[in-house]
Amino acid sequence: MNVHEYQAKEVLARFGVPVPPGEVAETPEQAREIAERLGGKVVVKAQVHAGGRGKAGGVKLADGPAEAEEKARQILGMTLVTPQTGPQGKLVRKVYVTKAVDIEHEYYLSVLVDRANACLTIMASAEGGVEIEKVAAESPEKIVRLSVSPVAGFSPYLARRIGFSLGLAPDQVKQFTKLLGGIVRCFTETDASLVEINPMIRTPGGEIIALDAKISFDDNALFRHPDIAEMRDIHEEDPLEVEAGEAGLNYIRLDGTVGCMVNGAGLAMATMDIIDQHGARPANFLDVGGGASKESVTAAFRILLRDPDVKAILVNIFGGIVRCDRVAEGIIAAAKDVEIGVPLVVRLQGTNHEEARKMLEASGLSLIVAEELDEAARKVVEAAKGGAR
């Protein structure tokens, strides 16, 4: 789960990470009031779950309360399009008003899970800020990486090594050591999967501050952190994925034309691969789970059909624990509830598949039955290419 910058900074502040003071606003008037409380220059920042806001016009400096109100009016309600939002962009519903700080230098700092080495990795660069993607692509040697051993844990000398390699002065290294220690503790104690500070800055007075913050939390550990779970903002998530989650389906929207309904994550991956091999792209990953009941099949059809890019659907179920005749029953019942306006290819294999096939044939539904996976993929790709909607 991702959170907004203002929430990430609130969590980081609990671990002693220095961040500029600020408050979140939903109206231009609130932004003015916050700017009055903060005093002096402020920054008005669009709160969406995406980076690259600055370049897209979502981060603006303001001289005082009146200008803060004006900038908030410009940013609130805008659809921000950045390389991280996709072409449809994200609607801005909140702005974060923070005290502006003077920047002498921008650094990049992140902590993430290194799956290959089964440990945490710290990444840092003296060339942080809005061009970090360019640095990563063109001069990756300018990014320092250091692993944190899960046995030894984090120790200040790691931070000192990184701090000196960033070119920080001894006094700043001291501050950096405290900041990084706080971030690593935050990472571990909140079950985060990523903490990214870009930029971490040095002020002309030599202070080291986190100016931007992004945290991703591990969904599977949220039950241990009710305060963080509460920070979820479903406006920032794909509505179809939210609905699927509520129906107990494991659904991820993709950009192809073939809707897939499969039981089991492994089979779902194989199904997506074979669709690709036959020359079309899957519109989604969807694991209806081991149960594949009438309810889950109906919910799955509803969700698949709400995606206007879906031109044909492939149902690929292996009856291991679930019986194919139960699934066929589910499909027949679902087809009565939901109007399936696209070609439907069904492949049911495993327990009671013959019975299931007879049921589908007798149902009078217009569907294309397939025995083998290869055949099913060929048929659905053909249907998706020919099928106008």
Say how many Å lie between the first and final Cα of the chain, rounded.
34
| Residues touching ligand GDP, count (CB under 6 A) | 17
The CA radius of gyration of the chain, in Å to the nearest whole number, is 26
d(CA 314, CA 331): 12
Q: Is 106 an interacting residue with respect to ligand GDP (CB under 6 A)?
A: yes
Query: Binding residue for ligand GDP (CB under 6 A) from 22, 28, 65, 129?
Result: 129
Token pair for residue 67? 């200008």
Q: Is 82 an interacting residue with respect to Mn ion (CB under 5 A)?
A: no
Is residue 348 within 8 Å of residue 317, measured between CB atoms? yes
The least distance separating Mn ion from the CB of residue 198, rounded to whole angstroms, comes to 4
- What positions carry a catalytic annotation? 108, 196
Please spell the DSSP secondary structure of 282-347, one letter per residue: BSEEEE-TTT--HHHHHHHHHHHHHSTT--EEEEEEEESSS-HHHHHHHHHHHHHHS---S-EEEE
d(CA 110, CA 226): 24
Beta strands 344-350 and 312-319 are parallel
Q: Is 67 an interacting residue with respect to ligand GDP (CB under 6 A)?
A: no
Residue whose CB is less far from ligand GDP, 53 or 323: 53
Interface positions, 26-45, toward ligand GDP (CB under 6 A): 43, 45
| Residues touching Mn ion, count (CB under 5 A) | 2
Query: Binding residue for ligand GDP (CB under 6 A) from 182, 199, 264, 330?
Result: 199
Is residue 35 within 8 Å of residue 64, measured between CB atoms? yes
Per the document, the length of the chain is 389
Residue whose CB is less far from ligand GDP, 47 or 257: 47
Q: Is 256 an interacting residue with respect to ligand GDP (CB under 6 A)?
A: no
d(CA 25, CA 44): 9
The least distance separating ligand GDP from the CB of residue 228, rounded to whole angstroms, comes to 21
d(CA 346, CA 368): 6
- Give the contact letters, 170-209, x = binds to Mn ion (CB under 5 A), - = no: ----------------------------x-----------
Q: Is 125 an interacting residue with respect to Mn ion (CB under 5 A)?
A: no
Q: Is 89 an interacting residue with respect to ligand GDP (CB under 6 A)?
A: no
Query: Binding residue for ligand GDP (CB under 6 A) from 22, 51, 181, 259?
Result: 51
- Give the contact letters, 159-198, x = binds to ligand GDP (CB under 6 A), - = no: ---------------------------------------x
User: Does an H or E element contain 156, and which?
Assistant: helix 156-165
Interface positions, 207-236, toward Mn ion (CB under 5 A): 212
Question: Which amino acid would we find at residue 136?
Answer: A
Name the phi and psi angles at 300, rounded to 5. Answer: -65, -45
The least distance separating ligand GDP from the CB of residue 312, rounded to whole angstroms, comes to 39
Where do contacts with ligand GDP occur on this chain (CB under 6 A)? 43, 45, 51-54, 59, 100-101, 103, 106, 129-130, 198-199, 211-212
Where do contacts with Mn ion occur on this chain (CB under 5 A)? 198, 212
